[in-house]
Structure 1
Amino acid sequence: MTEQTQNQDSNPQEQNNSDDGDKHAQIELPPADSTTQHSASSGPLTSSNGWDGKLRMPPRNAVLANPEALSDPEYSDPDAPPVDQIEADEDLLDDYPVDTEDIDLVHCRISSLTALRLDRFTKVERLCLRQNAISSIELPANIRATVQELDFYDNLISHIKGLNEMKALTSLDLSFNKIKHIKNVNHLTTLTELYFVQNRISKIENLEGLSNLTMIELAANRLREIENLDSLTQLKELWLGKNKITEITNLSPLTNLRLLDLKSNRLTSLSGLSTLTNLEELYVSHNAISSITADSLATNKKLRVLDISNNKISHLENISHLTELEELWASSNQLADFREVERELKDKENLETVYFEMNPLQLAGPAVYRNKVRLAVPQVKQIDATFVKV
């Protein structure tokens, strides 16, 4: 299956994320305002309590190079001393052969792309410049002609420019920058993955023409509405966690969508999903949803993973038809009746994992809670963070 107040034992996504080969290392962030991060083969989310920015890099102890950009929304720090720049006699790429296909310069205090002299490299397919101090994208023509994956995660980019004549680009990561508007990307028709995690974007716009896009991530921005996605008919993954969205709207054209993440928003109801008949994973934790109505998931019969944790749901109902369900995360709601658990879940042969802790189900009788869950759903292999003993 395919990114903070609970402890680790109550966090299914985090527990399962340790070895999935994700592209970003995990970073914990403070919750945004009062509402409280990948390809089709993505691993699980990094957290179930608010942050979902699927940080996609081999595990490492990542530290943001520009943390001020998170603590101060208008951070620019004009009076700060200049970031150390590459000295004229220091060549960070001296050991790279001119025909290298992969350049990786993480946390190297780079502020000038010109100083790297990238024009000497003729076959670069992947260029990773994350965690530096780059404010503008200035790439030579030879790099723009060959690069397929371009990574500027955690820099100081405010405006999207300099991406012309990039006919091979399939993945663009501009996460953790200072971008307010999505612009100058709709000509990148070869893109399949686009990342804008933790910027200052308040409107989804200017994506027309990206007909090959299969994944877009806009987690931790300032979005209030789902809009302007009609042309992205090949989209399979839509990541919108940690925004200010109040309704699930305008998703009808996205019939190929397999994964939808809307956790840590301001949803009060579960609706607007009727055309998403191919949906396999739905994450709506940390909202204010009070019920699953008869029409909420009526047509979403392919769901394998359903995360409704940290809402206000008092009855487990209207999911008995989800016969493909493998994982149900429903912690921290108001569920109190084991008979509902049995009625809705007992005959689901593929169901392996359930989370019900921090509900009246568990709080009213913690000593007998696990046994009651096992009696209600004997097929499961994991209850909360603990595997069932055979």
Structure 2
Amino acid sequence: MTAAPLNEGSRSPGHHIELVDDNPSPRHDGETSPGLRNSKGWDGKLRVPKSAVLTNPEALSDPEYSDDENILPGDELAADEGKFLSHILDGEPLDTDEIICTHSRIQSIAALRLERFQQVTRICLRQNSIQEIDGLSAVAATLTDLELYDNLISHVGHGLDDLVNLTSLDLGFNKIKHIKHVSHLKNLTELYFLANKIGKIDGLDGLDKLRSLELGSNRIRELQNLDTLKGLEELWVAKNKITELKGLGGLPKLRLLSIQSNRVRDLSPLREVPQLEELYISHNAVESLEGLEHNTKLKILEISNNKIVSLKGLGPLVELEEFWASYNLIADFAEVERELGDKKQLTTVYFEGNPLQLRAPALYRNKVRLALPQVQQIDATFVRTT
């Protein structure tokens, strides 16, 4: 077991502890799992490498896996190894402000005896075998950031009851079916439930300070019960079973919506969030961009892998900076110029995989440059400006 320092400047000054297993043994699925957390959340497509191996790979696919009899147990620790884990933090400075124990075969938080560390503000126990949230009340006065990502937690329970100072809570890649026992955490600004088994958005009333909510890769069919989150700025719900964009009208500060890999067809309900600045809606069933006319604040629009034929609807989006439209059915260069030519802030466009690129790939980029001379990047290629 070795202590690994954080990058310079990545945290506030002070001591911290980071423990990782030099030779991590395989988890209960026979594989090890890398960390995939992104500071902006996860969008279901762009940020998870295909080669990633996770403790709970079932959460990324969509089989009917949720019955309890299919849940695999955690590793069994030998008695001497359990004793070792109970002393894993012995000898570390008691004034540490950060404890990180990843992939350390931890089953019990209480066994770490965290009450010794009365100044700790961040605890990261990702990629372990924790099944229950407990043993944290003794550090409730100082703890603001808790990561239990990639464990075996199926119920939130009452282990968070005293942690009222939390500003960030990450419960991604677990086995949680219901959002419960978090609404009292009034200081939360970030909440992550990525890749669990949640079927309904609920239990979030009272989180007035929440700015970012991550619910990607669950089993959600409807955007609902969000109206009380008046401070919400980012909503990540990629890779669910959502068919409609209704239920966003009560979010006056929402500026980013990631709803990739769902079943959305109609964009018109987005008129309820005219302040939206970033929309990621690739891998859906969208056929028309009409309905976006009221979203004039959009700066980034990602609509790749849909069934879009026409760019009609983009005219009023005068602040557009990036337009990602790969693998659709767009064929008309004249329409590209007509709908996007006046967007002076537009720097990036993606049209690969559309008929206008496939018909004459050798001429494609030159035609885009002629239609959109202000653009600096076409697909993955930067355009040389004169």
Output the TM-score relative to the length of structure 2.
0.84
Matched with 2:127 is: 131
Give 1:1-390 correspondences, 5 Å limit: 42=40, 50-51=44-45, 63-67=53-57, 72-74=65-67, 75-78=70-73, 82-83=76-77, 86-90=81-85, 91-161=87-157, 162-293=159-290, 296-390=291-385
Counterpart secondary structure, 1:328: strand
Task: Tell whether the 8 Å contact from 1:69 to 1:76 is kept in structure 2 after alignment.
Answer: no
Q: 1:330 and 1:83 mapped to 2: Cα distance?
A: 50
Shift of 1:73: 3.9
Q: 2:295 and 2:243 mapped to 1: Cα distance?
A: 21
Counterpart secondary structure, 2:361: coil
Q: Which string of whole-angstrom CA distances, capped at 9 and with x for unpartnered residues, describes residues 305-350 of structure 1?
A: 0011111010111112111111000000000000111011112111
**Quick one: which amino acid aligns to residue 368 of structure 1?**
L
- Equivalenced residue count is 345
Counterpart secondary structure, 1:100: coil
Q: 2:369 and 2:228 mapped to 1: Cα distance?
A: 46
Counterpart secondary structure, 1:272: helix
Task: Tell whether the 8 Å contact from 2:34 to 2:53 is kept in structure 1 after alignment.
Answer: no
Q: 1:213 and 1:153 mapped to 2: Cα distance?
A: 19
Cα 1:83–1:298 shift into 2, 3 Å: farther
State the structure with bigger RCO (CA 8 A, min sep 6), 1 or 2. Answer: 1
Counterpart secondary structure, 2:213: strand
**Quick one: which amino acid aligns to residue 377 of structure 1?**
L
Counterpart secondary structure, 2:271: coil
Q: 2:163 and 2:268 mapped to 1: Cα distance?
A: 39
The Cα RMSD (Å) is 2.4
Cα 1:68–1:354 shift into 2, 3 Å: closer
Q: Which string of whole-angstrom CA distances, capped at 9 and with x for unpartnered residues, describes residues 45-88 of structure 1?
A: 66xxx536x57xxx9x975234466675443225x762567432
Task: Tell whether the 8 Å contact from 1:102 to 1:126 is kept in structure 2 after alignment.
Answer: yes
Counterpart secondary structure, 1:367: helix
Counterpart secondary structure, 2:268: coil
Task: Tell whether the 8 Å contact from 1:38 to 1:215 is kept in structure 2 after alignment.
Answer: no
Counterpart secondary structure, 1:282: strand
Task: Tell whether the 8 Å contact from 1:301 to 1:322 is kept in structure 2 after alignment.
Answer: yes
Shift of 1:112: 1.2
Cα 1:355–1:68 shift into 2, 3 Å: closer
**Quick one: which amino acid aligns to residue 190 of structure 2?**
E
Cα 1:209–1:387 shift into 2, 3 Å: same
Larger Cα-atom Rg: 2
Task: Tell whether the 8 Å contact from 1:84 to 1:109 is kept in structure 2 after alignment.
Answer: no
Unaligned regions of 5+ residues in structure 2, if any?
Answer: 1-9, 11-32
**Quick one: which amino acid aligns to residue 87 of structure 1?**
G
Cα 1:247–1:347 shift into 2, 3 Å: same
Task: Tell whether the 8 Å contact from 1:38 to 1:193 is kept in structure 2 after alignment.
Answer: no
Identity %: 54
Shift of 1:94: 2.6
Cα 1:114–1:135 shift into 2, 3 Å: same
Cα 1:261–1:89 shift into 2, 3 Å: closer
Q: 1:200 and 1:106 mapped to 2: Cα distance?
A: 23
Shift of 1:139: 2.2
**Quick one: which amino acid aligns to residue 218 of structure 1?**
L
Counterpart secondary structure, 1:150: strand
Output the TM-score relative to the length of structure 1.
0.83
